[in-house]
Structure 1
Amino acid sequence: MRMENAEQAKQSETYRAALVDLLYQLADDELCLGHRDSEWLGLAPDIEEDVAFSSIAQDEVGHATYYFNLLHDLGEENPDRIAFAREVKRWRNAVLLERPNGDWAYSIARHLLYDVFDDIRLEAITHSGYRPLAEGARKIRREETYHLQHFRLWFTRLGQAGGEAQERLVQAVNRLWPDVGGLFSLGMYEAALIENGILPMNGEEMRRRWEERIRPVMDEAGIPWPGEISIPRVNGRLGEHTDDLSEMLDTMSEVYRLDPNAVW
């Protein structure tokens, strides 16, 4: 009986660790991208895109907040401390999402590449055995559908425009490509996520489905396929990050650090 209890406890600990790690991946992806989106305020090509990026940024941060609240329900710190007071090595976002915005083509291309991946991940999560996550993913996916449509339209518009617009888009995709593979890493608990029914799809299957969906869009936009996709040397899912994340977090947490105990 003691051995059974010990084994059950071990399984329970593994389940929780895998679930918490996945929730950090989800939340950190959304918060990083939401913050980068917010940096376009006042800088977008026209007022409509100023409004669009502001709205999308709010959605992304709202999704991150939902995941942070699930983490808090599992015993992690309160959402504000999770968002603003964690060490860089505890962040689980893909490195692709911590990179600075670059030019307009770079931001559009990054958003499209991520949003297709996120849609695939969210669809898988709707079948998760962890009910609060599955229920939240259904609502979040409906909202993300509009983001995906928005950035697909921009991507094809830039590519089909030819000239400098297309050249910049090609350059953007080539710059993004070395980091793209990091999206499909599910971290150190991938096997446990699958075995425990938290996530019914592994990273390789996500990559395969992503490629099936991205290739036709790139063909439509006239953008050459850059080549093989591999997990980058710096893997954010394992807590490995660039100085870009440190600098972003310094900016993002500036107000919070003035008084961490304040209630805003």
Structure 2
Amino acid sequence: MTEQERTALASLLYQLADDDFLYAYRGSEWLGLAPHIEEDVASSSIAQDSMGHAAMYYQLLEELGEGNADALAHVRLAHERKNSILVERVNGPGYYMEKPEYDWAFAVVRNYCYTVAKKIRIDALKSSSYEPLAAAAVKINMELYYHLLHWQTWFTQLYQSTETARQKMDEALERVLHDFGDMFDYGEHGQLIEEMRLIEGQGILLDRWYQTITPLLVELNVTLPEMQMTRNGRDGDHTEDLNDALATLGEVYLIDQTATW
């Protein structure tokens, strides 16, 4: 593997790791705030699974020579992160320990759209030319069926509920698609990532995403808003929401980076 190829591989791994790391964190903020106790347990379990997936990718980066996995997760600055914009967005106004006014409709739409995208990427990664990544994808895939079923159920039920619920879901879908444009983007090393057959082309995966969600949207009589790319997180262009999240995520680790956790 040439140095350019190693850099391209690392870039893809950072995208996968950072996506799940931030997605899991935003999910964990719902602990104690979900609509009912059963959902509190279920969504917390999904967040825990997702953090485990992020840890697997960070471990692959450590094995690639990028540095300590814990440090890669907790120390890197916002401009070094390669997660999509969608997963870094706050759940709503407030702070989870101080008057949170979170938006459950936004959580459901974000989680459903992201999980569909994640399942499509994982299915593609199972055939990756980089065998350690392909093996990780096989393990992660075993949990995704339940994650996807959970969020699709919520997505469907809320759209089939009251007019108020449907309006909130429409507003949430607009917000999610506003930030979805970089989800399947591979950043500056995208061409080499595809040439190395680390994963299928971004256009192919995006088409699959549309093909996957369209039947349900038709069934629910939902019009999908236009997808936009206001920023590209794959190239390190992020919002202030990410800075705030990283400050919280690294708070304990940064007290003593030499400690054994």
TM-score range (shorter-chain normalised) is: over 0.9
Indicate yes or no: 2:175 matched with 1:178: no
Which residue in 2 is equivalent to 1:7?
A: none
Indicate yes or no: 2:65 matched with 1:75: yes
What's the CA shift for 1:220? 2.5
Which residue in 2 is equivalent to 1:88?
A: 78
What's the CA shift for 1:240? 0.7
Which residue in 2 is equivalent to 1:8?
A: none
How far apart, in 1, do the equivalents of 2:105 and 2:18 lie? 23
Indicate yes or no: 2:55 matched with 1:65: yes
Which residue in 2 is equivalent to 1:6?
A: none
Which residue in 2 is equivalent to 1:249?
A: 246
Which residue in 2 is equivalent to 1:212?
A: 211
212-221 vs 151-160, which moves further: 212-221
What's the CA shift for 1:221? 2.9
Runs of 4+ in 1 over 3 A off after TM superposition: none
How far apart, in 1, do the equivalents of 2:258 and 2:218 lie? 51
Backbone CA RMSD of aligned residues: 1.1
Indicate yes or no: 2:260 matched with 1:263: yes
Asked which structure has the greater CA Rg, the reply is 1
Contact conserved, 1:68 with 1:82, CA < 8 A, in 2?
yes
Contact conserved, 2:123 with 2:137, CA < 8 A, in 1?
yes
Superposed, 1:163-202 pairs within 5 Å as 163-199=163-199, 201-202=200-201
Q: SS at the partner of 1:161? A: coil
Q: Which protein has the bigger helix share? A: 1
Q: Which string of whole-angstrom CA distances, capped at 9 and with x for unpartnered residues, describes residues 175-229 of structure 1?
A: 1111111102111111111211212x111111111011112222233322213x3
How far apart, in 1, do the equivalents of 2:241 and 2:80 lie? 15
Q: Which string of whole-angstrom CA distances, capped at 9 and with x for unpartnered residues, describes residues 99-138 of structure 1?
A: 0113001000001111111111111111111101001101
23-32 vs 254-263, which moves further: 254-263
Contact conserved, 2:181 with 2:230, CA < 8 A, in 1?
no
Contact conserved, 1:158 with 1:221, CA < 8 A, in 2?
no
- What is the aligned residue count? 251
1:24 paired residue among 14, 20, 45: 14
Contact conserved, 1:152 with 1:217, CA < 8 A, in 2?
no
Which consecutive unaligned segments of at least 5 residues does structure 1 have?
A: 1-10
What's the CA shift for 1:237? 0.3
Which residue in 1 is equivalent to 2:223?
A: 224
Q: SS at the partner of 2:67? A: coil
Contact conserved, 1:182 with 1:237, CA < 8 A, in 2?
yes
Normalization by structure 1: what TM-score? Answer: 0.92
Q: SS at the partner of 2:33? A: coil
How far apart, in 2, do the equivalents of 1:246 and 1:129 lie? 34
Contact conserved, 1:155 with 1:221, CA < 8 A, in 2?
no
What's the CA shift for 1:24? 0.3
What's the CA shift for 1:161? 0.8
Q: SS at the partner of 2:160? A: helix
What's the CA shift for 1:253? 1.0
How far apart, in 2, do the equivalents of 1:217 and 1:118 lie? 17
Which residue in 2 is equivalent to 1:159?
A: 159
Aligned residue identity for 2:88: E
Which consecutive unaligned segments of at least 5 residues does structure 2 have?
A: 93-102
